[in-house]
Amino acid sequence: MPKILVTRRTFSEAVHALEKSGAEVVVWDGEDAPSHQDLITSIRDVDGLYAHITNQVTGEVMDGAPDLKVISEFGVGYDNIDVEAANERGIAVCNTPGILSESTADEAFALLASMARRTHDLPAMVKRGEWGDFDPLGLLASDIHHKTLGIIGMGSIGSEMAKRAAGFNMNVLYHNRNRRDQEFGATYVGSLEEILERSDFISLHNPLTPETKNLMSTEQFKLMKNSAILINTTRGPVVDQDALYEALVAGEIAGAALDVTVPEPIPADHPLLTLDNCLIMPHVASATHETRMKMAKMCVENVLAGINGDWPPYCVNQSDIAANARLKK
């Protein structure tokens, strides 16, 4: 009987669907995610891994599971999986693309709107009893309409962000490795420097790769307008957080809203949490009932195909494995 390890508690519908396939299903039921050592211990006789961002699925982990055929990530980003190592071992790696793009863009736009219209700091002021008399010059925010949004990374989430911005009459620029055919009313800007200089809001939607690590650091913050706001819903390491703190304190940029940080969870005594112009959310861009349920469904489809020796529908390394005809059966 094939065995599937689910590394975090999940929807009962997903667990039932896995069990219905006849597989033995083990769900990690700890309050916290399994440690790296827990993962290595639990994966030994597993055929399919239903993984989450909290698992570092390294070559060492894969070597501890000689029967492992498929790693099915619950999420679109899979930077926690060593795909090269999986290629070498003929293990399929899969994710949940597309399905969470709209929810993620919804959150990114909500963060943008919150920072612009100060819903991130003014409610706390009201609760402190500091709402004074009407003041034409007080509590001023920034418009959203007719401002310029710079989208870095115009994949499916970036495109959804562009659509939302168009509805708010924003001027939308995007920077991407390639110029896109469908631009959703957005204008391509070939240089990162230029888009940083021209934008009132910068929203990051590029994946984390060795090239995008610390993409936003001291030099980039200096290029941005002093009134600009940074939104990060991709991965924490894309932003150099020490440089961000310095830029926010020095007024190089006006604010930042982060759904993702380094590390996650961010420690309660982190300097960024002392700043009123920095809003931090606990990595929840895809966290709606509807979207998380759909992600679970895709994750189930991927893992079931993989344990049966078929190509999973959302396999990210099919061509690399196929080139060597090495898919593990």
What letter would DSSP give residue 72?
E
Rounded Cα distance, 261 and 251, in Å: 21
Closest CB 195 distance from ligand DGY, rounded Å: 23
- Shortest distance, position 61 Cβ to ligand DGY, whole Å: 18
34 vs 77, beta carbon nearer ligand DGY? 77
- Number of separate helices (H) and strands (E) present in the chain: 12, 12
Nearest-angstrom CA–CA distance, 174 and 192: 9
Q: Which strands, in side-by-side order, build the sheet including 48-51?
A: 24-27, 3-6, 48-51, 70-73, 92-94
Per-residue binding string, ligand DGY, 159-178, x by CB under 6 A, is: --------------------
Query: Alpha-carbon distance 108 to 207, whole Å?
Result: 15
Q: With contact defined as beta carbons under 8 Å apart, do 171 and 145 qualify?
A: no
Please tell me whether residue 77 binds ligand DGY under the rule CB under 6 A: yes
Residue 100, interface with ligand DGY (CB under 6 A)?
A: yes
Nearest residue (beta carbon) to ligand DGY: 75
Question: Is residue 55 part of the contact set for ligand DGY (CB under 6 A)?
Answer: no
Active site residue 289: no
Taking CB under 6 A as the criterion, the residue among 18, 61, 71, 76 binding ligand DGY is 76
Catalytic residue among 60, 193, 264, 290: 264
The token duo for 185 is: 């009313």
205 is catalytic: no
- Binding residue for ligand DGY, selected from 6, 25, 49, 53, defined by CB under 6 A: 53
Q: Which two tokens stand for residue 325?
A: 């005809």
φ, ψ dihedrals at 113, nearest 5°:
-65, -40
CB closer to ligand DGY out of 89 and 292: 292
- Smallest distance from ligand DGY to CB 75, Å: 3
- Please tell me which residue in 120, 164, 235, 292 is annotated as part of the active site: 235
Q: Which is nearer to ligand DGY, 47 or 79 (CB)?
A: 79
How far is it, in rounded angstroms, from Cα 174 to Cα 151? Answer: 5
Active site residue 128: no
Q: Which stretch binds ligand DGY (CB under 6 A): 70-78, 113-121, 238-246, 319-327?
A: 70-78
Residue 158 interacts with ligand DGY (CB under 6 A): yes or no:
no
Rounded Cα distance between 281 and 236, Å, is 12
- Residue 172, H or E segment: strand 171-175
**Shortest Cβ 77–ligand DGY spacing (Å):** 3
Taking residues 283 to 302 in sequence order and writing x for each that binds ligand DGY by CB under 6 A, - otherwise, the string is ---x----------------
Who contacts 258 (Cβ-Cβ below 8 Å, separation ≥6)?
Answer: 231, 232, 236, 239, 272, 278, 279, 280, 281
Binding site for ligand DGY (CB under 6 A): 53, 75-77, 100, 286
Q: Which residues does the annotation mark as catalytic?
A: 235, 264, 283
